[in-house]
Amino acid sequence: MSTEKKAVGGETPSMCMRCKKPTAHIIVSMVQDRIAKVQCKSCGGQHRYRDPEAPLKPPGKRQGKVSPEEVWGKAMNPVTPQKKIPYTFSGHFKVNDLIDHTTFGLGVVTHLLAGDKIQVLFKDGEKILIARR
């Protein structure tokens, strides 16, 4: 079992974005116990240390984020039993009001928007509705 500590000048595997694969790197700088900057032994490029074991998180993908259903479920739960307000264009709504929409079902008002609009969280996501307040 290796207990040797990583240190500047030592070697560590890291993802190299230029080589587009994990390669051997020399540790260039460290912050406390963590490797900060490394130099690729293959291409010589210096960059931030990237753990080759860490899963890649493609930007834009909503992985790991809670689904609208979960958010909706959470929004429903803490609400003390209150009466559902049937949604109408001329309804008066405020944040946290429980809305009963004929198409979208039950929703919670999350924001009051400018221009007679409200943002409501339904089971399949947030929707902007018209409401004259």
Residue 42 binding Zn ion, by CB under 5 A: yes
> Closest residue (Cβ) to Zn ion?
40
In the chain, the N- to C-terminal Cα span, in Å, equals: 68
Question: Using the rule CB under 5 A, is 40 a contact of Zn ion?
Answer: yes
In what side-by-side order are the strands of the sheet with 11-16? 11-16, 21-31, 34-40, 46-48
The interface region with Zn ion, picked from 3-11, 38-46, 64-72, 92-100 by CB under 5 A, is: 38-46
Q: Which of the residues 2 through 31 are near Zn ion (CB under 5 A)?
A: 16, 18-19
Least CB distance to Zn ion at residue 53 (A): 17
CB 23 within 8 A of CB 11: no
Q: Dihedral of CA 39/40/44/45: which sign?
A: negative
Binding site for Zn ion (CB under 5 A): 16, 18-19, 40, 42-43
